Structure formats: C-alpha cells, structure tokens
C-alpha cells in the first residue's frame, strides 16, 4: 500500500547551514519514527517558502547513506499572506503495510503550528 508521510520544520536564517541542518533533523526523525528504508520510498517532495533560497533541501536527503537513488524534488510553496515563514515542508511517498492512523507525521520547531492536531 502507498502512504504519504508529511513533515515540516522552520529555520532560523536563510543559510545553507540552517536549511541543511534543520532538514536533516526533520528527515531523520521521519525515517526513524516510521521505520523507513530507502527501497520502500517512491519519491520525496520538498517545498520551501519564498524566503528560503540558499539551499536545496533535497540535496540533504540524497546525501544520507542509501538514499542516493530515491527520486527527490524541491518546489516553492504558494506565497499565501500570513503563512509560516522560513518553512521547509516534505511529503514522502512510501510503500508500507501501516494503517493511515499509524503513520507518524513530524512537525518540528515553529512548524508544529501547522498541525497542532498531531501534537503528541
């Protein structure tokens, strides 16, 4: 069965270091919490808000051991007025036997505001 796993985080500054570090924390937590192996991943979509343009979040995932062949792409978020700034979002599409309710969507830093209903 194919399931989507969502997540998001924010960064302090629009720098390669901040974008890369926070993205790495996010994807590692998604991978760990959902016991994901790269071979089970169909593709990964990252989006960033307009104020982030110094790094590609996709590059971070491709540099994790075993993940270099997973299709990954980055895109820009719709610039909705009042939306959360400095935000990296991810949608990981995986093959899994887990039920929808058993998927752990991960929201870190200020991004917890996006899905307070998922707060544990």
The per-residue pLDDT for range 93-110, each reduced to its tens digit, is: 999 999 998 999 999 999
Say which of 33, 107, 109, 120 is annotated catalytic.
107
**Residue 87 is a catalytic residue:** no
Give the pLDDT of residue 120: 53
Neighbours of 25 (CB within 10 A): 15
Residue 82 carries which DSSP code?
A: T
| Domain boundaries, given as residue ranges, for the chain | 2-118
Contact 14, 52 (CB under 8 A): yes
Q: Cα dist. 98→31, 36, 38, 110 in Å?
A: 14, 11, 16, 28
Give the pLDDT of residue 117: 78
**Residue 115 is a catalytic residue:** yes
Top-level class of domain 2-118: alpha beta
**Residue 89 is a catalytic residue:** yes
Say which of 3, 22, 87, 89 is annotated catalytic.
89
**Residue 22 is a catalytic residue:** no
**Residue 6 is a catalytic residue:** yes
Q: Is 120 exposed, middle or buried (0-12, 13-18, 19+ CB in 10 A)?
A: exposed
Containing 91, the helix (H) or strand (E) segment is strand 87-95
Containing 72, the helix (H) or strand (E) segment is strand 72-76
- pTM reported for the whole predicted model: 0.92
> How confident is the model over 41-86, as pLDDT tens digits?
999 999 999 999 999 999 999 899 999 999 999 999 999 999 999 9
Say which of 17, 62, 76, 109 is annotated catalytic.
62
Say which of 22, 74, 76, 120 is annotated catalytic.
74
**Residue 77 is a catalytic residue:** yes
């Amino acid at each position: 069965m194919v399931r989507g796993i969502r997540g998001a985080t924010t960064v302090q500054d629009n720098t390669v270091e901040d974008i890369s570090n926070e993205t790495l924390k996010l994807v590692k937590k998604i991978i760990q919490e959902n016991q994901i192996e790269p071979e089970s991943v169909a593709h990964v979509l990252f989006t960033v808000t307009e104020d982030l343009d110094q790094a590609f979040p996709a590059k971070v995932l491709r540099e994790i051991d075993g993940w270099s062949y997973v299709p990954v792409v980055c895109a820009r978020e719709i610039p909705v007025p009042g939306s959360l700034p400095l935000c990296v979002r991810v949608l990981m599409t995986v093959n899994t036997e887990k039920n929808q309710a058993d998927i752990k969507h991960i929201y870190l830093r200020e991004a917890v505001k996006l899905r307070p209903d998922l707060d544990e």
